[in-house]
Structure 1
Amino acid sequence: MMRIATGEEAEVLTSDGKNAAAVSLGKKGGAARAKSMTPERRSEIAKKAAAKRWTKG
């Protein structure tokens, strides 16, 4: 982090402008979270998200 702040190293970004390291860690975290949940809990979350998407329109 300090090397990027001081200009010693360039920050690596993806094509959409996101930090590549953060994207990689985010993918791992999501998979770990899903693996630790029960199928019922994942279903609850998915239903809540679908309901939210339908009410936004």
Structure 2
Amino acid sequence: MIAKIATGEIEDNKKSNRTKSGKAGAKARAESMTSEERTEIARKAANARWS
């Protein structure tokens, strides 16, 4: 089955439960943080990417 997905014979449109729960967890985390906390996390991530 993996080979058929890789070659495009069939499509794999299933989303894993991890993806769904990860998005839900990220949303809940963002809603529980203040704007300043989110800004600081974003600043640290940007510094890590560009350093």
TM over 0.5: yes
Find out whether 1:42 has 2:38 as its counterpart: yes
Q: CA RMSD in A?
A: 1.3
In structure 1, stretches of 5+ residues that fail to align are 1-14
Residue aligning to 2:16: 20
1 or 2, which has the higher helix percentage?
A: 2
In structure 2, stretches of 5+ residues that fail to align are 1-11
- After TM superposition, the runs of 4+ consecutive aligned structure 1 residues lying more than 4 A away are none
| Aligned-residue offset at 1:53 | 0.3
